[in-house]
């Protein structure tokens, strides 16, 4: 059985990130998409998002490896909410390894061409919430 179209898009986007295929990244996002770069910092629009992915890749010395575990999708017409376990691995500096697991949240929108694109990319999930 084929994966849900949104799952296929997420896996393809991960592949583009892992292969540093930055020219391909904008096509995974809607025109006015938002990427949470870190809590408090949001990149808005395709161009800013592709730039942000380049910067993140540089920060991890080009050794970033992103993958997903369980993925749950809730659809409502042309909008979908995605919860995913995301694994981020990297050789952070030349002598240290970085590995973390996140509970990502993505909002996907079915664009006018029928392709699902990421409108909001928040790999920090509920970590954005203040403890109050």
112 lines the binding site for its own copies (CB under 8 A): no
Q: Which CB, 11 or 60, lies closer to its own copies?
A: 11
54 lines the binding site for its own copies (CB under 8 A): no
Q: In the set 2, 23, 77, 113, which binds its own copies (CB under 8 A)?
A: 77
Secondary structure string (H, E, C) spanning the chain: CCCCHHHHHHHHHHHHHHCCCHHHHHHHEEEEEEEEEECCEEEECHHHHHHHHHHHHHHCCCCCEEEEEEEEEEEECCEEEEEEEEEEEEEEECCEEEEEEEEEEEEEEECCCCCEEEEEEECCHHHHCCCC
Q: In the set 16, 17, 28, 122, which binds its own copies (CB under 8 A)?
A: 122
41 lines the binding site for its own copies (CB under 8 A): no
Contacts to its own copies by CB under 8 A = 30-34, 36, 42, 44, 69-70, 72, 74-77, 79-81, 83-85, 103, 105, 107, 109, 119-120, 122, 125-126, 128-130, 132
């Amino acid at each position: 059985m084929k994966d849900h179209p949104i799952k296929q898009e997420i896996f393809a986007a991960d592949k583009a990130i892992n292969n540093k295929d930055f020219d391909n990244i904008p096509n995974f996002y809607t025109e006015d998409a938002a990427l949470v770069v870190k809590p408090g910092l949001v990149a808005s629009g395709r161009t800013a998002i592709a730039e942000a992915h380049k910067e993140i890749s540089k920060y991890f010395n080009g050794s970033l490896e992103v993958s997903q575990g369980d993925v749950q999708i809730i659809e409502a017409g042309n909008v979908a909410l995605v919860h995913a376990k995301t694994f981020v691995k990297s050789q952070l500096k030349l002598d240290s390894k970085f590995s973390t697991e996140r509970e990502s949240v993505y909002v996907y929108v079915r664009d006018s061409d029928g392709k699902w694109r990421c409108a909001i990319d928040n790999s920090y999930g509920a970590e954005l919430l203040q403890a109050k």
